[in-house]
Structure 1
Amino acid sequence: MRPVLYVLSFLALIALGFWAYRENYTTQAALKEVETLQRQIVGLREALALQRAEWAYLNRPDRLRELATANFDRLGLLPMEPGQFGTPNQIAYPRSAFPEIDMPIDIQGDLPLEEGL
């Protein structure tokens, strides 16, 4: 009986070693993938920061004013003035959704008294 237990223990030990070996390589592959993804994220963040800086540079008010002046014949853009905006009185608010009361209901009346009061 003992030799059978020794053989089973030895086989279990080999199986666990194989499992640990496989898990080690799986973990290393996952770590390499995470590292690659983190490098990609850093690169994308740097590209986004560069694009935001370029957008801010291109949207400078003095540059846009010069472009609007230079292309006035084609675009017809004029500077914004306060008179171009509406007032709060000009806003069309939706009507209330409450229904009209056609027939009033009498809610006053006699309540039945309980016996024994």
Structure 2
Amino acid sequence: MRSVLFLLTTLIVMGLAFWAYRENYSTQSAITEMADVQRQIGGLREDLIVLRAEWAFLNRPERLRELVNLNFDKLKLVPFGADQFVDVGQVTFPSPQAAPAASGSDAMPVERPAWYPPRRPQESTP
């Protein structure tokens, strides 16, 4: 009986040693993976800092002003004026009824800025 108890105890100790060995290696693997992820996070933060610096450089007001002047014919961008801001009560909102179809004369007129080119008349098809 005593030899069976010693054999059973030895098997239990060996099983626990095997389990502890596996847990040690899985823990080391998780620590290595976490270090790799932390290294990637650090690299991405550095990339983000560089991208923010590039964004700030590209959004300098003098550079944007120069681009607006170069592309004025295409974009027709002009500075804001005080007459472009109105009180919310002055804005005409569409009625809550069903929106009219966007065909021909049923379409609601769209207000355009004063500098915007006029809309060309629609040609009717026979």
CA distance in 2, matches of 1:4, 1:91: 94
| Aligned residue number for residue 15 of structure 2 | 15
Q: How many residues align?
A: 95
* Per-residue deviation, 1:83: 1.5
Report Cα offsets for 1:33-78 as digits up to 9, x if no partner. 1111111111111111111111111111111111101111222111
Report Cα offsets for 1:78-113 as digits up to 9, x if no partner. 1121211222322468xxxxxxxxxxxxxxxxxxxx
CA distance in 1, matches of 2:92, 2:18: 75
Seq. identity, %: 55
| Aligned residue number for residue 65 of structure 1 | 65
Partner letter of residue 79 of structure 1?
P
* TM-score of the superposed pair, with normalisation by structure 1: 0.73
CA distance in 1, matches of 2:92, 2:20: 71
Partner letter of residue 27 of structure 1?
T
| Aligned residue number for residue 100 of structure 1 | none
SS state of the match for residue 86, structure 2? Answer: coil
* TM-score of the superposed pair, with normalisation by structure 2: 0.69
Runs of 4+ in 1 over 4 A off after TM superposition: none
Closer/same/farther in 2, CA of residues 69 and 46 from structure 1, 3 Å limit: same
Structure having the higher Rg: 1
Stretches of structure 1 that go unaligned for 5 or more consecutive residues are 94-117
SS state of the match for residue 21, structure 2? Answer: helix
Counting only pairs closer than 5 Å after superposition, residues 1-117 of structure 1 correspond to structure 2 as 1-91=1-91
SS state of the match for residue 80, structure 1? Answer: coil
